[in-house]
Amino acid sequence: MTIATTSMASLIREGAGIPMPESSKLSGEDAEARRLAAEVARGNEAAFQQLYDAYHQRIFRLALALGRGDDSLAREVAQAVFVTAARKLRKVESAEHLWNWLARIARQRIAKNRLQQKRDSVVIGVADLPDWADDERLDSQLEERLDAAILEMDREERRLIEMFYFGRLSHKEIAESLNLTPKAVSSRLERAREKLRLLIAKKWSHET
């Protein structure tokens, strides 16, 4: 999933500049989080790209876990998180605060999708979700659940999932790397997606 950062300026509200906070007493990670939030609020394209690069993969993983392996939903949620960040991110106090802000948007989008699809019993990735408070430990537990599901896949399936979702490689790039045709990659990836959805759904039913 990609997002066109060149359009970010059109999403920023005018007059949103925020003075840079004092960061001499902050950890390097917290100072960087505050800097990124302030620069994104100003409409700084480079800062937005840094934010995206730093957090996209983890947000996608969280959305994939919350959505029980529904990759289409996870991509939609991840994109919505960064569109919202471009519009509304203003000031954070720490790296944890920044992550919780982004993760909250992801959870809200998942919950909204759940309500919209409530009557559709076919949808695998939508279910009643607990109303969690912001807590990185809980998010980490969800990511661990995703990792555990991926580890239950065979080596080829796991490699495809990691290359496509977390390495963000195209079908063509994966095909070249594995000496396959793009059509074969597409077919195998679809089977791997379905298996991952079932594995995550199984872990949800056992652990929630």
Q: How confident is the model at residue 99 (pLDDT cuts 50, 70, 90)?
A: very high
Confidence at residue 86, expressed as pLDDT on a 0 to 100 scale: 94
Q: Which residues of 3-24 are buried (b: 16+ CB within 10 A; e: fewer)?
A: bebeebeeebeeeeeeeeeeee
Task: For residues 203-208, give the mean pLDDT.
Answer: 61
Confidence at residue 7, expressed as pLDDT on a 0 to 100 scale: 45
Confidence at residue 89, expressed as pLDDT on a 0 to 100 scale: 94
Q: Dig out the tokens for 104 from the structure.
A: 């909250």
Q: How confident is the model at residue 25 (pLDDT cuts 50, 70, 90)?
A: low
Confidence check: pLDDT of 129 > 50? no
Confidence at residue 21, expressed as pLDDT on a 0 to 100 scale: 43
Query: What distance in Å separates the CA atoms of residue 181 and residue 137, rounded to the nearest whole number?
Result: 41
Residue pair 162/81 in contact by the 8 Å Cβ criterion = no
pTM of the model: 0.67
Q: What proportion of the chain, given as a percentage, has pLDDT over 70?
A: 74
Question: pLDDT tens digits for 41-97?
Answer: 999 999 999 999 999 999 998 998 888 888 889 999 999 999 999 999 999 999 999
> Does residue 148 or residue 138 have the better pLDDT?
148
Burial (CB count within 10 angstroms: exposed 0-12, middle 13-18, buried 19+), residue 58: middle
Lookup result for tokens 């996209």 = 56
Return the domain boundaries, the chain. Answer: 26-207
> Which of 96-105, 110-119, 144-153, 164-173 shows the lowest mean pLDDT across its residues?
110-119
Q: How confident is the model at residue 205 (pLDDT cuts 50, 70, 90)?
A: low
> Does residue 166 or residue 18 have the better pLDDT?
166
Confidence at residue 27, expressed as pLDDT on a 0 to 100 scale: 80
Confidence at residue 204, expressed as pLDDT on a 0 to 100 scale: 67
> Which of 11-15, 21-25, 26-30, 192-196 shows the lowest mean pLDDT across its residues?
11-15
Q: Give the DSSP letter string of 36-88.
A: HHHHHHHT-HHHHHHHHHHHHHHHHHHHHHHTTT-HHHHHHHHHHHHHHHHHH
Residue pair 80/109 in contact by the 8 Å Cβ criterion = yes
Query: What distance in Å separates the CA atoms of residue 3 and residue 85, rounded to the nearest whole number?
Result: 12
Task: For residues 179-202, give the mean pLDDT.
Answer: 88
Query: What distance in Å separates the CA atoms of residue 157 and residue 6, rounded to the nearest whole number?
Result: 34
